[in-house]
Amino acid sequence: MSDSVHSTPSMHRPPEPHRRDGAPWLVVGLGISGRAIARFLQHRGERFVVADTRTAPPGIEAFREAFPTVDIHLGDLEALDLQAFSEIVVSPGVDLQKSGLAAVRERVIGEIALFARHCKAPIVAITGSNAKSTVTTLVGDMARQAGKRVAVGGNLGDAALDLLIDHPDAELFVLELSSFQLETLEGLGAVCAAFLNLSADHLDRHGDMAGYRQAKSRIFDKARHVLVNAEDEATWPEDASIPCERFTTKAPADGMWGISPLESGEWLCHGERPLMPVSELRLAGRHNQANALAAMAIGHVIGLPLAVMRQVLGYFAGLPHRGEIVAERGGVRWINDSKGTNVGATLAAIAGLGETLAGKLIWLGGGIGKGADFTPLAAPLARYAREAIVFGQDAPQLVAALAPHVATHRVDTLAEAMQRAASIAEAGDCVLLSPACASLDQFPNYLARGEAFRAFLDQGPLEPGQEAAC
């Protein structure tokens, strides 16, 4: 296995540009990333001003208390002299076009660019429309079990700049990166950069799929090694000279990572080399088998022992709200995939679970579809589902897309959907909450929606006619 994790990656990182002496920084955005940027600059003794286009951003009073000497500008950025600042650091949620920062793009950097400038340890960077949190967590756990001092975060958990402060002795950083974080990034220089998949999401920000892919592909810039999805050409780098690992859910070609049918059952394999029986995985579904392969491929690149990677895959049961098995009652599994907020994520969950079921899938979906086309859901649901139960604001659009192809039942709320599922489920079935929609019509966020799913199950046995209380 490679020993590249022990190499010095900083030689590929962009140098700090010449900055105007005495001029302060400008931090734009007061979300989690903005607060991390402010903390990092304060830690380094830098002068900075903070701005937010909102007139009353959440947490403003707590920020004032934490940074009492920092000037804060709220509202339109046009009121600021942007030429007065040495550099402008933006939070991922800030749209350069809508904020008016596009005119000074040459002096704008993002939080991850700032992280890359100061990080001295190797970086594993992971992106994709779906599954990046699971793969990031798996790689982090594998590295930790292998005895590495590892820091895990980015778009998942702790902000990247907080990791630099809180883990100064880290010998490996494993980062989940979103398209918003990547669009202002150049020259990350990751020891391994993974692009797992691409499906429609955030098109209101990136314009179209080409713009979305372009933002994601920045993860490859100056990467030492890349990992891509052999079944999704949109994940492949334009530079074919970068050493590349590929994973697939099919039998792998030589050098690829995939799933092969052997006499003893299906195995995760690297080329012809069997690595681990699929039956030993705690994670459910074909899509999670792909996630396991991706994590093993990254681990291979950075030199992690196979025995350690198998150990982690043998106990890792998934992240909350991401394909999480919440209960099994009467032979029926109830799976919380509330994080499935777009069609691509839901397609992966349906296809991944459908292939492995003894019975049928009962799918719960709905909420705010963000203008998505739901028709791709029809074919896999027609193949695997006993019924599609839809709820929420965009339930009519889901009915229109699905009803000609699969039995579809409309209700108003998630609670009613779960009660309906309980009344029709049979042994061997799986009830899957993977809504393909945002949650904000009925819940504060996908977390609250997933917790409502769990709370309903915590009431006790589910019987037809039981009063729904979530």
pLDDT tens figures, 2-48: 444 544 444 455 555 545 557 999 999 998 899 999 999 999 999 99
Band of pLDDT at residue 439, cut at 50, 70 and 90: very high
In angstroms, rounded to a whole number, what is the distance separating the alpha carbons of residues 137 and 98? 33
**Where in 392-446 does DSSP place strands (E)?**
408-410, 430-433
**Whole-prediction pTM value?**
0.81
* Strands ordered across the beta sheet of 332-336: 324-329, 332-336, 430-433, 361-366, 385-391, 408-410
pLDDT, one tens digit per residue, over 131-169 is 899 999 999 999 999 999 999 999 998 999 999 999 999
Which of the four pLDDT bands, split at 50, 70 and 90, describes residue 390? very high
- Bridge-based pairing state of the strands 226-229 and 172-176: unpaired
72-96: pLDDT as tens digits: 999 999 889 999 999 999 998 888 8
What is the mean pLDDT of the segment spanning 420-428?
96
**Per-residue pLDDT, 21:** 59
Alpha-carbon distance of 229 to 246, in angstroms, equals 6
**What's the CA gap between 184 and 168, in Å, rounded?**
24
* Res 177: pLDDT: 97
pLDDT band at 461 (very low <50, low <70, confident <90, very high): low
- The residue ranges of every structural domain in the chain are 24-108, 119-315, 324-458
The stretch 371-394 carries a mean pLDDT of 97
Interatomic CA distance for residues 440 and 370, integer angstroms:
11
So which residues are the catalytic ones?
132, 155, 202
Instruction: Decide if 49 contacts 24 (C-beta within 8 A).
Output: yes
pLDDT of residue 292: 97
Whether 382 shows a pLDDT value over 60: the answer reads yes
Contact 362, 390 (CB under 8 A): no
Q: What is the dihedral of CA 116, 119, 123, 125, to 10 degrees?
A: -30
The first and second tokens of residue 342, run together, are 């777009």
pLDDT of 10: 42
pLDDT of 184 > 50? The answer is yes
Compute the radius of gyration of the chain from its Cα atoms: 23
Instruction: Check pLDDT > 60 for residue 468.
Output: no
Average pLDDT value for residue range 280-284: 89
pLDDT confidence of residue 40: 98
State the chain's mean pLDDT as an integer: 91
- At the topology level, CATH places domain 324-458 in Protein-Tyrosine Phosphatase; Chain A (3.90.190)
* pLDDT at residue 333 tops 70: yes
Lowest mean pLDDT among 119-123, 198-202, 312-316: 198-202
pLDDT at 54 over 50: yes
Tens of pLDDT along 230-254?
Answer: 999 999 999 999 999 999 999 999 9
CATH 3.60.20.10 is the classification of domain 119-315: no
Q: Which residue has the higher pLDDT, 293 or 202?
A: 293
> Average pLDDT, stretch 97-110?
86
Q: State the pLDDT at residue 460.
A: 66
Q: What is the model's pLDDT at position 371?
A: 87
Question: Which CATH topology does 24-108 take?
Answer: Rossmann fold (3.40.50)
